[in-house]
Structure 1
Amino acid sequence: MSQIKEPLAPTPAAEFESAVSARNISKNYGDVQALQNMSLEFPRGQLTSLLGPSGCGKTTLLKIIAGLLEPTSGEVEVNGKRVTGPGPDRAFVFQDFALLPWATVLRNVAFGLEMRGVAASEREARAEKYIKEVGLAGFEHSYPHELSGGMRQRVGLARALAVDAQVLLMDEPFSAVDEQTRRKFQEDLLQLVQNENKTFIFVTHSIEEAVYVSDQIAILLPRPSRVSEIIRPSSFRNKGVDNIRRDPEYLDIVDEIWASLRTYVE
């Protein structure tokens, strides 16, 4: 591996309102420093991808925002309130689905609402709404073992949407599905971002995926991780899902990110 370069100055972004602010976040695991004075703003109602080489702290930062890990120093604010642990303003979509194997699709999607004490009629109505929205209408009474991997991931996404959290944290949610399903998920995710008016924070190892789905891409350097660059694609965002991958800006950004990250790939 080549010697680590100093981080670049983040690309200036247009003015936006932040839903999530990470300020001077450092995280140590014993003698290993995973994150070093990382600061990053996540625009409200948009999707920000965290992209970087393996082991650069993407999931660590996501878990700190979720309140599942405590930073060694620094702080995270969500809607102006400091994060001190998990909260109803955030929902996590796990890489491995994390479904209840003994529960139906309907029960799995409604589970977060059940834990919050929402009445059965209301939680089932909301669960049914999001089951339909993620394309699983008709599978309400199926069990996880009866579903494909892609369908199980849709259940996890519907569960996160159903609790109506304002911030959705997604840890490589499409990595366990085949390429065709992954592309369909990416298209569906763009529609969800547009329709739901929520803030999405998305961890991925795929450069193409990050550029395709993101309003903002934060490039992270190897540990101790910090932000190298912030990229905000512009020209292709409203051209429709079928046109993005052919857009010159999309292709240029993919090439530029690979050129900046290939140094850190062994």
Structure 2
Amino acid sequence: MSQIKPALVAVPGSDIAVSTRNITKFYGYVEALRDLSLEFPRGQLTSLLGPSGCGKTTLLKIIGGLLEPTSGEVEVNGQTVTGPGPDRAFVFQDFALLPWASVMRNVAFGLEMRGVGRSEREDIAARYIKEVGLAGFEKAYPHQLSGGMRQRVGLARALSVDAQVLLMDEPFSAVDEQTRRKFQEDLLSLVQNENKTFIFVTHSIEEAVYVSDQIAILLPRPSRVSEIIRPSNFREKGVDNIRRDPEYLDIVDQIWSSLRSYVE
């Protein structure tokens, strides 16, 4: 069965890459987040899950330095966040690609903005283009790619800048179900192989349980952490067995029971 831990309890054997402490955020008179504290273990994937409008994307943007909290603070690797930084990279829901640039140029764009030389940045980009399954499409343009392929370009771009924290805002919601499942499998491999910290926003309970080391359940606005769920070992049984595992099914039901009353 899953283990439920309160926020800010360290995970045994893990250190903490990102901490949010007492985050409150107002939009005018609307309180989106209230005194929200949460820790994200290094090298693991944490999903933010909750009803629509509960502040998941707001929290992600505050961690990314794109929004300032009204009060509270965020630390990444022990350093207080004051704005965007090279230690964090975004993977967006809408791909956010440069339509006039090739796959290679899109993936290498972050490195180009950092002043990395062309030969070096293209070598790095080529590695991640291959890793996300797009080898052979380096010269293609976004309009020539499917939605799933465009999302792979966005993922390769985030990986190529070697940020230690990847912030993923519903990255699979715009693709079909078959592509989404393949992305979920690929994401598990990336978490295992890349040694990065992933913070993943999703509306899908099944997706959160499938990909996550830790699931933070957020309450409706003003958002706080309701509970933290850490699946134990069903992901070690192989991607083909996860969705049939009794623990997976129990956690999906447990989360739905927690969220059912908040769904209109």
- TM-score by structure 2 length? 0.97
Q: Distance in 1 between matches of 2:198 and 2:40?
A: 9
Structure 1 residue 31, shift from structure 2 partner? 0.5
Query: Structure 2 residue aligned with 1:14, among 5, 11, 15?
Result: 11
Stretches of structure 2 lacking an aligned partner (at least 5 in a row): none
Measure how far apart 1:13 and its partner are: 6.1
Alignment deviations for residues 170-214 of structure 1 (CA, whole Å, 9 cap, x no partner): 000000000000000000000000000000000000000000000
SS in 2 for 1:238: helix
Q: Secondary structure at the match of 2:171?
A: coil
> 2:45 touches 2:199 (CA, 8 Å); kept in 1?
yes
Distance 2:74 2:121 in 1: 30
Letter in structure 2 aligned against 1:250: Y
Check conservation: 1:9, 1:228, Cα contact below 8 A.
Answer: no
Which residue in 2 is equivalent to 1:211? Answer: 209
Aligned to 1:143: 141
The 2-side partners of 1:66 and 1:111 are apart by 18
> What is the CA RMSD across the aligned residues, in angstroms?
1.1
Aligned with 2:109: secondary structure? Answer: helix
Structure 1 ranges of 4+ moved more than 6 A: none
Shift of 1:239: 1.0
Counterpart in the other structure of 1:106? 104
Q: Give TM-score, length-normalised by structure 1.
A: 0.96
CA distance in 2, matches of 1:221, 1:203: 14
Equivalents in 2 of 1:41, 1:215: separation in Å? 13
Q: Matched residues in 2 for 1:65 and 1:207: separation?
A: 22
2:187: which partner in 1?
Answer: 189
Partner of 1:4: none
Aligned to 1:5: none
Q: Give 1:141's aligned amino acid.
A: K
Give the corresponding residue for 2:156: 158
1:225 corresponds in structure 2 to 223
The residue number in structure 1 matching 2:38 is 40
Report the Cα distance in structure 2 between the residues aligned to 1:260 and 1:52, rounded to whole angstroms.
Answer: 10
How far 1:10 sits from its partner (Å)? 2.2
User: Identical aligned pairs, as a percentage?
Assistant: 85
Distance (Å, rounded) in 1 between the aligned partners of 2:124 and 2:135: 13
Q: Which runs of 5+ in 1 are unaligned?
A: 1-7
Aligned residues: 259
Per-residue deviation, 1:9: 7.0
Q: CA deviation at 1:223?
A: 0.4
Q: How far 1:230 moved relative to its partner?
A: 0.0
1:239 to 219, 237, 240: 237
When residues 245 and 9 of structure 1 are mapped into structure 2, their CA distance, relative to the original with a 3 A threshold, is closer
Provide the C-alpha distance between the structure 2 equivalents of 1:239 and 1:85, rounded to a whole number of angstroms.
40
Alpha-carbon distance in 1 for matches of 2:147, 2:219: 31
Match of 1:245, SS? helix
